[in-house]
Amino acid sequence: MSTLSTLMVAPAQVVRGSGILSQCGSLISRLGQRPLVVGGDRTLQTSASFLADISQLKIAKASYQNDCCETSLTQLRRLVDEHRADLIIGVGGGKALDTAKLLAHQTQLPVVTIPTSAATCAAWTALSNVYSQRGAFRYDVGLPVCPDLLLLDYDLVATAPKRTLVAGIGDAIAKWYEASVSSGHSSQALVIGAVQQARVLRDILFQKSAAALENPGGDDWREVVDASVLMAGVIGGMGGAQCRTVAAHAVHNGLTQIPASHSMLHGEKVAYGILVQLRLEEMELGNSLAATARQQLLQFYGQIGLPMTLSDLGLAEMSLTDLRQAAEFACQSGSDIHHLPFEVSSQQVMAAMVSTTAPCQRADSSVPNLATPKSPSHPSSGGKV
């Protein structure tokens, strides 16, 4: 008997364009008449004018507070009952959208996702990451379906700080470096398609990111927003569980255990984690392709402003104890870092974390000196990767 395989490839409906939120009231009202709108305090205020078209519905608004965490979800479930909500609308960045999706799953309600930035692909995916009340990653929850409706309004996304798109580029480009390691030798058609799509995504970001950041709202900007929010989600949907995150996201999860890292965005920590993953491949396999890829990424990061070192992440004063804690969490049993094609220890991760800008050569993986290496000089913004 064949094994039952279920893929959550895409939202039931995706609508994108400039000013679309003023035209989508009928699409939302088909899903429910008493929506609970979930977002951050600031997002709920700034997005009010964009949601004017659903003002005829019986709307209640609720803040997810600081994180997608169990305490917030408990409070929100109570608000769902009090409002007698029949629909959840998530408005905001990754944590707001993850909260809304998980809340909708827990209360068995449909969900609409409205990203306010291009910092993650959370608006697309059937996945929610759960954190502690203090912002430390705890676990992720695979959801049975993608959102019922995704509304990507470029005018709303354009109000987000430039830094959020840079972070989204870092999160999205990780798809190639992680999927190619975890699934690059798969013979399954959809997984092969997902891995190749990840390569195309990487190339689009290499080619268009610098121009996109120079001209917000322009054609290249829209393409990069689509790549970061939508295309990155397609890859996870097509590839499913086999197209896994690997060391880049595991390092992110480890860093969240350190409070000093919480000022950095998800995609910034993931981007740094890609360099750690490539460094591990160099150190453990003597992999010249990984070395070349790391140097290419360092140049690209310099162009668009992604972090290359612990110092760039604001962790120049990170103690050896904190470094060890982050590395040990990244290497805990069940971590995605163990999808690497070799065994990896926290000691090796620590060594890689402090040598992300090192010259291309095999290095030993002894306990590192915490003198964080300086980032290389940034190349001209007009240079090619």
pLDDT reading at 380 higher than 80: no
Tally of structural domains, the chain = 3
- Over residues 34-83, the pLDDT tens digits come to 999 999 988 888 788 888 778 789 999 999 988 999 999 999 999 999 99
Give percent of the chain above pLDDT 90. Answer: 82
Whether 6 is covered by a domain: the verdict is no
* Mean pLDDT value of segment 140-160: 96
DSSP classification of residue 1: -
- Least confidently predicted of 118-132, 200-214, 327-341, 363-377: 363-377
Please tell me whether residues 139 and 60 are part of one structural domain.
Answer: yes
Residue where the block lists tokens 């890859």: 235
The two tokens of residue 199 are 């390569």
Same-domain check for residues 166 and 196: yes
Residue 3 lies in a domain: no
User: Residue 244 has what pLDDT?
Assistant: 83
Residues 169 and 47 in one domain: no
The candidate with the shortest Cα–Cα distance to 10, out of 152, 113, 96, 126, is 126
Same structural domain for residues 98 and 30? yes
Which CATH number covers residue 383?
1.20.1090.10
Question: Among 157, 179, 212, where does a domain finish?
Answer: 157
Same domain, 76 and 36: yes
Q: Residue 3: which pLDDT band, with cuts at 50, 70 and 90? A: low
How many residues are given for the chain? 385
Within-domain flag for 305? yes
- Give the residue from 101, 134, 157 where a domain finishes: 157
Mean pLDDT of 6-21: 94
Domain with residue 53: its CATH number is 3.40.50.1970
Question: What pLDDT is recorded for position 378?
Answer: 28
Question: Which of the four pLDDT bands, split at 50, 70 and 90, describes residue 243?
Answer: confident
Same domain, yes or no: 182 and 266: no
Q: Which of 120, 136, 157 is the last residue of a domain?
A: 157
The residues, ordered by sequence, that sit 6+ positions from 381 with a Cβ below 8 Å of its Cβ are 210, 214, 303
Mean pLDDT of 124-133: 97
Kindly state whether residue 188 falls inside one of the protein's structural domains: yes
Domain identity same for 37 and 105: yes
Residue 221 lies in a domain: yes
Q: Are residues 27 and 149 in the same domain?
A: yes
Domain match, 267 and 366 both? yes
| Contacts for 346 with CB less than 8 Å, ≥ 6 apart | 324, 327, 328, 330, 331
What per-residue confidence (pLDDT) applies to 383?
A: 31
Q: Please write the tens of the pLDDT for every residue from 277-329.
A: 999 999 988 878 999 999 999 999 999 999 999 999 999 999 999 999 999 99
Domain range for 216: 161-241
List, for residues 190-239, the tens digit of each pLDDT value: 999 999 999 999 999 999 999 999 999 999 999 999 999 999 999 999 99
Residue 252 covered by a domain: no
When comparing pLDDT for 384 and 348, which is higher?
A: 348
Residues 142 and 113 placed together within one structural domain of the fold:
yes
Residues 142 and 218 both lie in one domain: no
Same domain, 24 and 113: yes
Beta strands 149-153 and 14-17: pairing type?
Answer: parallel
Question: Which is more confidently placed, 144 or 363?
Answer: 144
Q: What pLDDT is stored for residue 375 in this prediction?
A: 37
